[in-house]
Chains A and B, each alone.
Chain A
């Protein structure tokens, strides 16, 4: 492969897509994010509009029902940042199919690709989901307590998952489980009798995104539905991509908080001048500005390694760690800069603060 130029600059194509997504976010989401959060629901037509951008389907080869365009992790981080800038709940919801389809595309057997990808390459959005997180103290995606045990021609899955977005509407989900010391992903149908979807969860944030606990009780999955079949999948790579994606989402949420607080601070007058004229406030704004940029650059760095087909273990780990820390710091500053007004739900900064908490804690919610 020919070596690419080292560059911080977007290509024409990257800029065009960024602007397209930004416009959509502005038109569809900006004025509605508050309502969605209050009503605890994302209107399906919003998700449909994002789906119609075709980002996920575009990179799926034609033989499986997509358009066969070039797959680009960097492009995906750009899209995720813009979506999350509009609304983090929508960003996760709208990209769920990618979260389900990309791992199959990358690691699936031919049979799995034929069977599971095509039905989702449809003009209308069909939810499908991923179950990685577990409701317990010291949860760790690299030592899962959900187990898959091979018994004859089936794997038997037992364990508890939480934060499974749109689980009740998803016909399929990818389930992460420990299998004889290694970690694997399994394609599980919702109608499998071993799958029990609990009551919709109540969480600190992402009110608009329906999420559910899912319990697997002697859930039998045919051997052929282990991702990658006999070979299994590269679970490490799966984590690298989801961690990079969460960093992109963190960048988007943080940028939203930063920009809102910045504009507010220019308008809000106390002691006879805008509060932004005081260094204590201005320096917070400066910090927010460069930390948002730093988060984005670290996300791009991890995505660059992935795009080059290289191992991005360290880069994606550090990017997510950083994004987790900084999203909390920035969204906290966002509330602080608005003072008491920041605490009131009429302003979006309190929502960014609640949603932003998820970046450090969650795993496997989106992918690049």
Chain B
């Protein structure tokens, strides 16, 4: 039965994480923005948190536990989007820098064999897909992997890798058979200390400066045969590639909630300033009879609520074992774009306060922009949504 009133448990999680974000992330937010790439050592205390862990292995014959929350238990995906919103209300760059919780870890969690999970589970893994010539079109990557005896030999260049320096290893995407197209693309776990693996440079960025985005060069980099994630077999279909892309159905709502968190930080700060000036937001008057500032604020709040509900729905569906490819992209399409617009508008309403580095509003406006770019740009999300609702293939709608 439909009920969108938050439960006590949800409120508890939200308040708990918000307290932590306020106490631990906000105080160091500006410092690590100004000291680009410096590892935030304060985050070390999160290292022992098993965020990307697997449930205890069941004995053979025992049924796999489903994600579906039993009764009123809070589903793990819904809990996750709530937590990420609060953490990013604290600081998005710092959230991305949580040890052992990289995008690579999510991929490992999703597809690694038990043996691999045993070996790599406790380490920090970045995800290296993007190349200079392959961004949105991740199926066109050109890094190669070739099997030589018991080893894979990797060659290529990977750019814009989140946590490139502070991670222990990278999940690198490469093709084992260029002629096979997407079917030939596989992912490999490459430890940072393998010969032939080099961190080439770190980028200077618009926002999320506390995070180290970098370039890897792989030059005849050799890794053991067992470091391939998933099956080495090249099937004629692109099922394997689609499988990897499915990881993103799970992570898109997470990026959407990053946008929720950063833009809410901006909204909360703006509201504080509005109220300090003695303006009362009463949520009652005809919105055309209030000041432009108030109306703009109401519209932002409405959009923020819409972002959140779309995001929570995608997460809730996942918790209930429902296929959410469409809803995950809807969430990210809306949140990435409107989160960005909200943070910009807040700076506008704040006037000179929205330009000054004395407070964090200008930083939020820089930080939030990435949520409409990584893990599929806003345009790519619109493509996915449109294809879905039109029933069009990628050939029918390019």
Contacts and interface: CB of A to CB of B under 8 A. Distances in A.
A262 interface: yes
A142 B285 contact: yes
B334 interface: yes
Contacts of A300: 2, 4
B45 interface: no
A126 interface: no
B60 interface: no
Most chain A CB neighbours (cut-off 10 Å) among B4, B305, B313, B330: B4
A297 B313 contact: yes
A140 B289 contact: yes
Contacts of A265: 390
Interface string A312-323: 011101110110
Chain B contact residues: over half helix, strand or loop, or mixed? helix
Interface of A: 3-11, 13-14, 74, 138-143, 236, 239, 262, 265-266, 274, 276-277, 279, 282-283, 285-287, 289-291, 293-295, 297-298, 300-301, 304-305, 307-308, 310, 313-315, 317-319, 321-322, 325
Given A279-B398, A308-B5, 12 more contacts: A8-B2, A8-B317, A277-B392, A282-B387, A282-B397, A289-B389, A291-B306, A293-B330, A298-B302, A317-B284, A318-B301, A322-B305
A245 B392 CA distance: 34
A7 B302 CA distance: 20
A294 B283 contact: no
B126 to A, nearest CB: 30
B396 A277 contact: yes
* Those 6 A-B pairs whose CB atoms lie nearest each other, nearest first: A297-B309, A294-B306, A11-B1, A282-B386, A286-B385, A290-B330
Given A11-B2, A140-B285, A290-B333, A301 B390 contact: no
A314 B8 CA distance: 20
B72 A5 contact: yes
Contacts of B330: 289-290, 293
Interface in B318-332: 320, 327, 330
B309 A276 contact: no
Contacts of A279: 379, 382-383, 386, 397-398
Nearest to A140: B286
5 contacts: A74-B3, A283-B379, A291-B306, A298-B305, A321-B299
Contact of B3 (A287, A304, A325): A304
Interface string B30-63: 0000000000000000000000000000000000
B172 to A, nearest CB: 31
Interface in B254-272: none
